[in-house]
Amino acid sequence: SDPAVITPYDIAVAFNGWRTNPNFIGAILVAVDLPPSLLGNYHIPGTSPAVNLGAASKSGVNAPTSDIDGDARPSAPGFEAGADEIAGGSGGGGGGGGGGGTVPFPATGLLDDFNRGTGATTALGANWSGNTATNQFRINSSNVQSRNSAGGNIWWNQTIFGANQEAYMTLVSIGTSNNRTTRWQGLLLKFNGVDPNNVSATGIDVRYRTTTGVTVRTKAANGAWIEQATFPATFNTNDVLGARAQADGTVSVYLNGVLVGSVNVTQGATPWSTTLAQGGGWIGATYSFNNGRFDNFSGGNMP
């Protein structure tokens, strides 16, 4: 049956039969040079029939213990069929510790709808920290507008959320990138410090740009931001960008509540500290350009 992947490969390809090798009748290889965003996204959502359909072994050969993203397999109770394993299938819930389980996304509510202010320039207010001057971020037409050409960072300062946390927001106006200009919009998770780019800051950011998709990065104190994974995805106006960071190091990315991809940032070539992964921090928004817009910032501790 249809595995119901996130984004199937869907593009027309033309080829000429006479250009194939006559010794390989019926075997035609078609290679297409396309950006990753057009090549589909074969991660599976939690509703896919491929969930728990896989076998632990076949003809004496064991199934791999990790999937294409490096996530552990199986994620209880069984293996997913195919290359993608839905992360976090085992483990308990809890905002301050333990695994996140299979809690549907989103599992938290609205923090700020920005429905205030009547003028063109309204400050974010006392619940926000970071680049909160109105020439950097402001409320305009009941959503938040980035104002500085270099963008900036803001975070919800009312709660330091725990080790299992999530954040999401509606992208009202999306900055586009090309081969000369990069514009990204994204979320901050588990941020600690006075500025995400400060030498002593730690945290995770999940950034979308139109040319590559969604990139997950981590930062440790006295270190630079490190890219941990990039997931092909295409967001349109008023789509919801979401992300979840768990105590076991799993960071998951969502488009309108559907899983785009997951990575365990405490593994791989440049792992993030397990101590940081098991800690909490602020959640917020990050932009790199002028006139990006978002609305309905939401998030908190997973139940």
Residue pair 255/206 in contact (Cβ under 8 Å)? The answer is no
In DSSP notation, 230-244 reads EE-----TTEEEEEE
Mean pLDDT of 49-78: 75
- pLDDT tens digit sequence for 139-198: 999 999 999 888 899 999 999 999 999 999 999 999 999 988 899 999 999 999 999 999
Distance (Å, rounded) from C-alpha 141 to C-alpha 18? Answer: 59
Distance (Å, rounded) from C-alpha 162 to C-alpha 59? Answer: 44
Confidence (pLDDT) at 165: 98
Confidence (pLDDT) at 65: 76
Q: Sorting pLDDT into bands at 50, 70 and 90, what band is 12? A: low
Q: State the average pLDDT for the chain.
A: 85
Confidence (pLDDT) at 72: 74
Residue pair 112/123 in contact (Cβ under 8 Å)? The answer is no
- pLDDT tens digit sequence for 77-132: 677 888 888 765 433 333 333 344 468 999 999 999 999 987 778 999 999 999 99
- The rounded percent of the chain whose pLDDT value lies above 90 is 61
Domain covering 110-301, topology: Jelly Rolls (2.60.120)
